């Protein structure tokens, strides 16, 4: 069973890296709303990788947000909530993001990603 969780975590990590690349490409080519969406989903995927290594299943956004709060504290939790809110605006509202906004949001997502990636790699070495 341990191998199942490890393999699942590695798949989520690979997906997170792909989404990170896609966000960079979207930003470069002016697909700013897509940049924001991919930025959120890269963070979600790396969080899912960590939760898989810890054998913790989440149910939707609120479950994931709660685990982020427990594992990484209130500041990370607030940043994750903000990123989710911006992703919803990009995907489901009339909001049209510009280059400056998309770039700033991507930078915030990268900071979150790097913190989560560091934790993921630490856990992967322990398992």
Q: Where are the domains of the chain?
A: 2-126
Percent with pLDDT over 70 in the chain: 98
22-49 confidence digits (pLDDT tens): 999 999 999 999 999 999 999 999 999 9
Return the minimum-mean-pLDDT range out of 60-64, 93-97, 103-107, 117-121.
Answer: 60-64
- What is the second-level CATH architecture of the domain 2-126? Up-down Bundle (1.20)
What pTM was computed for the model?
A: 0.92
Q: What is the rounded distance in angstroms from the CA atom of residue 87 to the CA atom of residue 35? A: 9
């Amino acid at each position: 069973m341990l191998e199942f969780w490890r393999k699942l975590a590695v798949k989520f990590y690979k997906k997170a890296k792909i989404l990170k690349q896609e966000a960079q490409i979207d930003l470069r080519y002016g697909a700013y709303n897509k940049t924001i969406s991919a930025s959120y989903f890269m963070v979600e995927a790396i969080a899912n990788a960590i939760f898989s290594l810890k054998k913790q299943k989440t149910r939707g956004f609120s479950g994931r947000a709660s685990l982020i709060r427990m594992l990484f504290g209130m500041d990370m939790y607030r940043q994750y909530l903000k990123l989710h809110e911006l992703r919803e605006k990009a995907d489901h509202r009339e909001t049209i993001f510009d280059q400056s906004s998309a770039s700033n949001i991507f930078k915030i997502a990268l900071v979150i990603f790097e913190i989560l990636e560091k934790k993921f790699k630490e856990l992967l070495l322990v398992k």
